[in-house]
Copies of this chain bind each other. A is one copy, B any other.
Amino acid sequence: MSDGTELATALVRLSHLVQRVFTDASRDHDLTQPQAQLLCALTPGPVGMTELSRILHLEKSSLTGLVDRVERRGLVARVRDDHDRRACQIQLTETGAELGERAHNDVVDRLDELTAGMPAEQRELVAAALFGLTTQTETGRQVFEPAAGS
């Protein structure tokens, strides 16, 4: 098993692991994984529904429900777009921003702990390689931005 398959297998397993870490961390903040991802995606600033569905790779109708549930909890708000009366911008409330940051930091902490055994040199190398993969495909804002504070 020394063919290309090896990397693919590693990627799938890693993805599964990270997914679990993300979900566990979200849960500890009373958030589902999609809800936490929504908050993280909104951290850099408000976005419209269409653009947000592109960032999260969700159908707009699915996003409507997700935003509904999170808005009901007072974590985000729909604010009117002055230039286009059809559109709205989804914005974090203060509570939502705080919760999102805590969840974000929690995820980062757990992943940092998980990778604590890797030598610095290897960390940078792997990080760069993975960033390369995601940048290849994604354009514009991504689901998970670096922490604002740090």
On chain B, the residues within 8 Å of A144 by CB distance are 9, 12-13, 16
Docked Cα-Cα span, A114 to B136, in Å, equals 8
On chain B, the residues within 8 Å of A57 by CB distance are 20
A1 near B150 with CB under 8 A, answer yes
What bracket does the count of chain A residues touching chain B fall in?
35 or more
Asked whether any CB of chain B lies closer than 8 Å to the CB of A82, the reply is no
Docked Cα-Cα span, A137 to B13, in Å, equals 11
Chain A positions near chain B (C-beta within 8 angstroms): 1, 3-20, 22, 37, 57, 107-108, 111-112, 114-115, 117-118, 122-127, 129-134, 136-138, 142-147, 150
Interchain Cβ contacts under 8 Å between A and B, 28 examples = A1-B146, A3-B150, A4-B123, A5-B146, A6-B124, A6-B127, A7-B112, A7-B115, A7-B123, A7-B126, A7-B127, A8-B108, A8-B115, A9-B127, A9-B145, A10-B130, A13-B134, A13-B142, A14-B14, A14-B15, A14-B133, A16-B144, A17-B134, A17-B137, A115-B133, A118-B132, A122-B125, A126-B130
